[in-house]
Structure 1
Amino acid sequence: MLRRMIIPALFGLLGTAILIALGLWQLDRAGQKAALIAEMEMRIFEAPAALPDAPEPEAHRYLPVRTEGRFLPEHVFVLSAQKAQGPGFHLVQAFETDDGRRILVERGFLPEAARAGLTLDAGQEAQLIGNLHWPRDINRHTPPHDAARNLVFGRDVEEMATLLGTEPTLLVLRASDPPASGITPVPVYQVSIPDPHLGYAVQWFLMAMAWAGMTVFFLWRIRTRRD
């Protein structure tokens, strides 16, 4: 009887050990991700630096930046909503820096009713402080750009840069001098990075428990059949 139980027992122990190891690995990954998020959230509120020559999503995401230049007429509205103000739009507008670069600036939120009377301040000189960001709020179900209403249904930096003729760099405004009238800046306050590792760890540990339980049940069946 013992000989018949050895292989199933070893198989069960090996499978359980592998699943537990995978769960522990995911816990370690969760800790690394939490440390990364904490580091990036600290970066949000650091003293602003100059706009990098070649901004990169991985290296410069959430980097505080100060720049000067002028707003351009090109713009697009991003469908959105705010709890206190209801449905409306985020205004993303082209901005030319003093050294001739064209970037995207997310100026903030305006309620739906305020869109008709909006002043774009095209040509106005401004000093901006904000954070670089590369959000991608779209998926395969997101409707395409509505050219008739100059409206997009989610932020995609590459798409907006193509529409407005800028480099794919988005500055989410924190403050401007002079401030915009009728537009409420919505600064970056926290990091938005998927962190599924804790959930994955729980799944692996549950699978380990199930594997161990099935192994015990199988060994019990072998023993009772033998008896």
Structure 2
Amino acid sequence: MIRRLPVIPTLIVLIAVAIMIRLGFWQLDRRHEKEGGLARLAQNVSAAAIDFPADRFDQSNLFRPARLDCRNPGKFSVEGAGKAGYRILATCEGDTRVQLGTTRNPSTKVEWGGGLVTGSIGQVPDSRPMIVTAFDHSPRELMLVSDTPVAGLTANPPRSLAEVPNNHLSYAVQWFLFAGIALVIYLLAVRKRLAARDERG
């Protein structure tokens, strides 16, 4: 059967399978990198409080206690917060965002004039599909998650390292499965084609 395989289609499929396998091993490498990063972030939880960093994309500051003088707050937005319902975010002067608290009612109106906020550093919610985030490794924007909710809101849920997902093992398994499935489907298709040719023949 091997000698009767069509050359060009077989090469294309083998190249595609090789790429998928390479992507699977790449995700395994990313998994080890993420585990090291999570270990470093765990140390931030008990670190001393800092002023909210000027670099809003420096992921090394995640989970670190911080403070921010939020001036001229505006552009209040509502984002999903899982079991907590919805989170209310305010944009401060300089485009830094603060998570003021949570609510069960997405129509909740917040009146807050700003001020000093203390809390811990988190990531701005990302509503993009998982397939997009799997290939986009640019750093997420940071925000300050307030320790004390503003009037009318519920306190933010306790922070957890689970907020920084380490899905690379599942991604790797998916790529390996895609490679195996593609190979099996191609071999079955070729077998059927050769069998049909032999019957005609």
TM bin, normalised by shorter chain, reads 0.5 to 0.7
| Aligned counterpart, 1:53 | 54
Q: TM-score, normalised by structure 1?
A: 0.56
After the TM superposition, which residues 103-122 of structure 1 pair with which residues of structure 2 at under 5 Å, given as runs?
A: 103-112=96-105, 115=108, 120=112, 122=114
Deviations 1:91-116 (A, max 9, x none): 213457xxxx6621113312329946
Aligned-residue Cα RMSD (Å) equals: 4.1
Structure 1 unpaired stretches of 5+: 140-167
Distance in 1 separating the partners of 2:68 and 2:126: 26
Residues 94, 220 of structure 1: CA spacing in aligned structure 2 closer, same or farther, 3 A cutoff? Answer: closer
Distance in 2 separating the partners of 1:111 and 1:73: 26
Deviations 1:10-58 (A, max 9, x none): 55764554344233213213313333443444344322474443233xx
Residues 68, 62 of structure 1: CA spacing in aligned structure 2 closer, same or farther, 3 A cutoff? Answer: closer
Aligned residues: 180
Q: TM-score, normalised by structure 2?
A: 0.62
Shift of 1:220: 4.4
Q: Where do 4+ consecutive residues of structure 1 move more than 6 Å?
A: none
Which one has the bigger helix percentage? 2
Structure 2 unpaired stretches of 5+: 130-139
After the TM superposition, which residues 1-227 of structure 1 pair with which residues of structure 2 at under 5 Å, given as runs?
A: 6=3, 8=5, 14=11, 17-47=14-44, 48=47, 50=50, 51-56=52-57, 59-60=58-59, 63-72=62-71, 74-75=73-74, 76-80=76-80, 82-83=82-83, 87=85, 89-95=86-92, 103-112=96-105, 115=108, 120=112, 122-123=114-115, 125-131=116-122, 133-137=123-127, 170-173=142-145, 176=147, 179-180=148-149, 182-186=153-157, 187=159, 189-192=162-165, 196-221=171-196
Which one has the bigger strand percentage? 1
Distance in 2 separating the partners of 1:113 and 1:25: 43
Which letter maps to 1:127? T
Aligned with 2:100: secondary structure? strand
Identity value in percent: 11
